[in-house]
Amino acid sequence: MLVLVAPGQGAQTPGFLTDWLALPDAADRVAAWSDAIGLDLAHFGTKADADEIRDTSVAQPLLVAAGLLSAAALGDIPAPGAVAGHSVGEITAAVFAGVLDDTAALSLVRRRGLAMAEAAAVTETGMSALLGGDPEVSVAHLEKLGLTPANVNGAGQIVAAGTMAQLAALSEDKPEGVRKVVPLKVAGAFHTRHMTPAVDKLAEAAKALTPADPKVTYVSNKDGRAVASGTEVLDRLVGQVANPVRWDLCMETFKELGVTAIIEVCPGGTLTGLAKRALPGVQTLALKTPDNLDAARELVAEHTQA
Q: Write the pLDDT tens digit of every residue in 164-211.
A: 999 999 999 999 999 999 998 778 899 999 999 999 999 999 999 999
Q: Looking at domain 125-183, which of 3.30.70.580, 3.30.830.10, 3.30.70.250, 3.30.70.20 is its CATH number?
A: 3.30.70.250
Q: Write the pLDDT tens digit of every residue in 200-252.
A: 999 999 999 999 999 999 999 999 999 999 999 999 999 999 999 999 999 99
Band the pLDDT of 253: cuts 50, 70, 90. Answer: very high
Domain ranges of the chain: 2-121+192-297, 125-183
Which carries the bigger pLDDT value, residue 306 or residue 115?
A: 115
CB 269 within 8 Å of CB 5: no
Mean pLDDT over 249-276 rounds to 97
Q: Where are the beta strands (DSSP E) in 87-206?
A: 125-132, 148-154, 157-163, 178-183
Cis status, amide bond into 267, omega within 30 of 0: yes
Indicate if the pLDDT at residue 162 is higher than 90: yes
Query: Residue 16's pLDDT is what?
Result: 98
Query: Residue 157's pLDDT is what?
Result: 87
Indicate if the pLDDT at residue 283 is higher than 70: yes
User: Which residues have a catalytic role annotated?
Assistant: 87, 191
Indicate if the pLDDT at residue 292 is higher than 90: yes
How many Å apart are CA 225 and CA 223, to the nearest integer? 5
How many Å apart are CA 32 and CA 55, to the nearest integer? 22
Mean pLDDT over 35-40 rounds to 98
Query: Residue 186's pLDDT is what?
Result: 79
Query: Residue 266's pLDDT is what?
Result: 98
Q: What pTM, to 2 d.p., does this model score?
A: 0.95
Q: Could you tell me the fold of the domain covering 2-121+192-297?
A: Malonyl-Coenzyme A Acyl Carrier Protein; domain 2 (3.40.366)
Q: Write the pLDDT tens digit of every residue in 100-154.
A: 999 999 999 999 999 999 999 999 999 999 988 898 899 999 999 999 999 999 8
- The mean pLDDT of the chain is 95
Question: Among the residues of 130-246, which ranges form H helices?
Answer: 135-144, 164-172, 196-206, 230-239
Indicate if the pLDDT at residue 306 is higher than 60: no
